[in-house]
Amino acid sequence: MVTGAEAAGPYINFRINRTVLTRSVLQAVHATGSKYGWTNEGAGKRVIVEFSSPNIAKPFHAGHLRSTIIGNFIYKLHKAHGWDAISMNYLGDWGKQYGLLALGFERFGSEEELVADPIKHLFDVYVKVSAAASEEAERIKAMDAEAAAAAGPTIQDQARAYFKSMEDGDESALALWQRFRTLSIEKYKQIYARLGVHFDVYSGESQVGEGMSRAIQMLTDTGLLIEDKGAKLVDLTEHKLDKALVQKSDGTTLYLTRDIGAAIERYEKYNFDKIIYVVSSQQDHHLKQLFKTVELLGLPYADRFEHINYGLVNGMSTRRGTVVFLDDMLHESKEKMHDVMRANEAKYNDVVDPEHIADVLGMSAIVIQDMAARRIKNYTFDWGRILNFEGDTGPYLQYAHARLCSLERKAHVKVNPDADVSLLTEEVTCDIINQISLYPDILAASIKSLEPCTVVQYILKLSHSISSAWETIKVRGEADDVAEARLLMYWSARTVIGNALTLLGLEPVEAM
């Protein structure tokens, strides 16, 4: 492939045989197909990727989308590099809010609405009982001490007592909580299926067993635990991480306690080489406390923890109100894209299953906008920009892929891996082949940075190059040998774009 080299000051310039390079790249894509660029660098190693992790008593909102799609990308990326990857959804399914939710369901709950849409109904119940608790607190604040004492247990007091009964194993309290959890998970699975996301494990704070008590005991044995008015804390002030509360004075546990217990149990069950928490930058402090505590406990796997954070999304709204449920957001993106498609009646009539295509395009619009920049950056959600079929958008990438599929269907020759690629001499074809050759390097860079934007920017650039070739590098109407060479190049480009879209969690569209 290298035909010569010469010094140029402090540099060495290499000359390559363009035909050999082109043949090598295009045949590699043809031979490996959907696994082009994959490696075995993670062979024999196991990674847990924990992502999405909604709270059952709170809305499954648009903010969860970032953790879900970034985590799914990281999970798929590790599999592409040979890791034994486990996708885990660690549900927020334990805590005092479930006591509050149970009280709220007694007052405001509807069995019919619960079955129809558990996530939405439980959120509505939670909002109502929280409002009732706040109103009660204001009334009590206005009372004198004697009247306040005579008022009896507040809603918050009852919620704490209910959660304590859950932790103590009360069967009736646990049965209601389990029903809320089971119905919510079934609804989550529908949303995840729509997003093309699969979880190997549905875990949750409630699933942490004796790991919590072992964590408390280990903290005590190592002298890390201190008591303050009956509560138990870990003093991390010398590490500039404040004091971390691990157990309240009434004996109930907190996030940190359960996260430490979960870490211990996960290592014992899965023997992971790495565990990645895909959680927003708002939780940076909490994750630092968790990792430092695990380190201070002297656990031999303390260096295997990694937090992948991301910024916030601003400017989201839907026609249905200020609380943006992810289901509503996906529905609205589909409808907006469907409206765009209907505007071109001739093309729309040729689309098979336009509802599904509109759904895929809508999700592509949302996902590509989210992943176009570095994940730590906050960004403003913009319906007008993301639904455009031109520019650096999801619909544009899907259109590029579908157009290449159409070219292949209409070609008068078949894809031939032995085509005479010496005929691909134009500057634009050389540019496209160079970019195709870079895809394995893009995957190698991405596994180090875990930045989806690396892949997004790469396929945008490749799609732009292909677009610039359409008018001059034709297949139809050309001699068979020229057509075969060009078709192989376009097929390889389509394969790479499709692979990259799949890696990003999107279904590549073949016609639209």
Could you tell me how many residues make up the chain? 512
Question: Does 64 qualify as catalytic in the annotation?
Answer: yes
For 6, the enclosing helix (H) or strand (E) is strand 2-8
247 phi, psi to nearest 5 deg? -155, 130
The SS3 of residue 46 is strand
Dump strand ranges (E) for 176-311: 201-204, 225-228, 231-235, 243-247, 274-278, 305-308
Cα–Cα distances in angstroms (integers) from residue 498 to residues 90, 456, 491, 493, 503, in the given order: 30, 12, 10, 9, 9
Q: CB of 129 within 8 A of CB of 107? A: yes
Number of Cβ within a 10 Å radius of residue 283: 15
Measured between alpha carbons, how far is 77 from 71 in angstroms, rounded to an integer?
A: 10
- Please identify which of the residues 35, 45, 61, 331 carries the catalytic annotation: 61
Number of Cβ within a 10 Å radius of residue 154: 15
CA 132 to chain CA centroid, Å, is: 35
Chain position carrying tokens 């396929």:
459
The radius of gyration of the chain's CA atoms, rounded to the nearest angstrom, is 28
- Please identify which of the residues 64, 81, 120, 274 carries the catalytic annotation: 64
Q: CB of 102 within 8 A of CB of 165? A: no
- Please identify which of the residues 30, 35, 58, 198 carries the catalytic annotation: 58
Question: Does 61 qualify as catalytic in the annotation?
Answer: yes
- Residues with catalytic roles: 58, 61, 64
